[in-house]
Structure 1
Amino acid sequence: MRHNAAIAVESSKSSLVKPMLAKVAPNTSRVSPWLTSLLYPLGHYVVLPFYFSNIEITGQEHLPKDGPVILAPTHRSRWDALMMPYSTGQKVTGRDLRFMVTADEVQGLQGWFIRHLGGFAVDIKHPAISSLRYGVELLLDKQMLVIFPEGGIFQDGEVHPPKPGLARLAMQAELSQPGLGVKIVPMSIRYRPRIPRRGARVKIAIGEPLSVADYAKGGSSKKEARLLTADLEMALKTLDEC
């Protein structure tokens, strides 16, 4: 799975919050208990230990056990799709993950698996209000979302600036229900070598959550969203250097 959707939406504003929540967008995404109970243990105990020589995880104490959460990891490989449930999923937090993915990933058989493992699609080239509305609804339902903020896979060893849509989505959810308590958890995933092969090592660092309410106090101006995005970028860079 290539989870490279980062909601690159430039035009969403606070005036959209109420219309966005007026009607939930049709979406067949859901978490299938039987499928996750089959595939995630397979990845956890068989696939990942077979392929990687060592997986080091730090900062799991920062993961919220309840409430609306956006996990915001760096994106370095398609293996990230398995690293996220391994490091933050049911065995760690007791929570299912809802992945935001690109629209072209939910086609055919692959799409069926993605939708039944909690994935939901957004067209980053032509983002629709309905896609964002579904993301907001998931946060209002106090789900844990996974959004790769850089917007793609980068293997150059650098943290790339997060797309602005993640912060705006988080703020729209917080503003639509004051006191909701949306948290954004920065995460760094690093492979050695950078393009992982069998026997590679992995280091996953989880940082302290950013409280969206702290940025939403002044309303939903672009200034607050830019500040939240900048702070997320700084947190990602700090984690990536550890």
Structure 2
Amino acid sequence: MSPSVDKPLEPLPTYRRGLAKAVWYGMTSTAIWCVAKLVYRLRIEGQRRVPMEGPVVLVANHQSHLDPPLVGGATRRQLSYLARDTLFKGPLGWLIRSYDAVPVDRDGSGLAGLRATLKRLKLGGAVLVFPEGTRTPDGELQPLKPGFLTLVRRSKATLAPIGFDGPYHVWPRGAKAPRLTGRIAMHYGEPIGPAEVAELGDDDLLTLVRERIATAMVGAQALNRR
């Protein structure tokens, strides 16, 4: 009887955007990263913790308008973003669409946006979510909203926590434009895999996500003190 031969593991599916959008994303993300390094002495730690294949939901504290492009420039794979449907108008709308963003109706049920996001995750995409729902008013981590948990469970995604330190001081809520001084740091925390997600109820999982983001924020603060 011949010995059994293990079948090679099939690669995980990974969502791919069109070539033009992929090139545009890569160029602008690199430019943003370079500017942040020069102006805000951006420091990043732990980005290799984000899986390069398969569905991933990145969850971060939300300190300013700078957060989405900073994550896009620092993360090693291209991300999908969620944006209010009212922003998809005029020049800003063109820019948002160029990043293949998903429109979300915050005044309605938001089901269309959730379905589109879930579809991308099931195709192996990576999506950035700010579980606080809006920018912090004081720089501190606010209570997390549980809506993203449905996406994580149904897509069997890995949760990748990120902590920011500095964007709030550079561009606080209510300011019309960012300051050109200050320091920014990002720390990628320990991921939460699909198996661990499946073992926890929503309350326990939300608590764990908050703990991981808070720990990542401490890591970012330590980076800024070095």
Fold shared by both chains (TM-score > 0.5): yes
Q: How high is the TM-score relative to the length of structure 1?
A: 0.73
**2:158 corresponding residue in structure 1:** 183
Q: Distance in 1 between matches of 2:32 and 2:132?
A: 25
**1:10 corresponding residue in structure 2:** none
**2:180 corresponding residue in structure 1:** 198
Q: Secondary structure at the match of 2:139?
A: coil
Moved more, 69-78 or 226-235: 226-235
Matched-pair contact (CA < 8 Å) for 1:193–1:201: no
Q: How high is the TM-score relative to the length of structure 2?
A: 0.78
**1:22 corresponding residue in structure 2:** none
**1:63 corresponding residue in structure 2:** 50
Q: CA RMSD in A?
A: 2.1
Flag the structure with more relative contact order, 1 or 2, with Cα contacts below 8 A and sequence separation at least 6. 1
Q: Which structure is higher in strand share?
A: 1
Q: Distance in 2 between matches of 1:42 and 1:153?
A: 24
Give a deviation string over 1:38-70, Cα, whole Å, max 9, x none: 42232233x324432x11111123111111001
Give a deviation string over 1:173-225, Cα, whole Å, max 9, x none: 23xxxxxxx1011111110772442121011011011123323358xxxxx22
Residue 81 of structure 1 deviates from its aligned partner by 2.3
Matched-pair contact (CA < 8 Å) for 2:55–2:155: no
| Stretches (4+) displaced over 3 A | none
Picking from 207, 211, 217, the partner of 1:240 is 217
Matched-pair contact (CA < 8 Å) for 1:155–1:194: no
**2:155 corresponding residue in structure 1:** 173
User: Highest Rg: 1 or 2?
Assistant: 2
Q: Distance in 2 between matches of 1:166 and 1:37?
A: 26
The aligned amino acid for 2:30 is P
**2:36 corresponding residue in structure 1:** 48
Aligned positions of 1:104-183 closer than 5 A: 104-174=86-156, 182-183=157-158
Picking from 73, 83, 89, the partner of 1:101 is 83
- Runs (5+) with no aligned partner, structure 2: 1-16, 172-178, 220-226
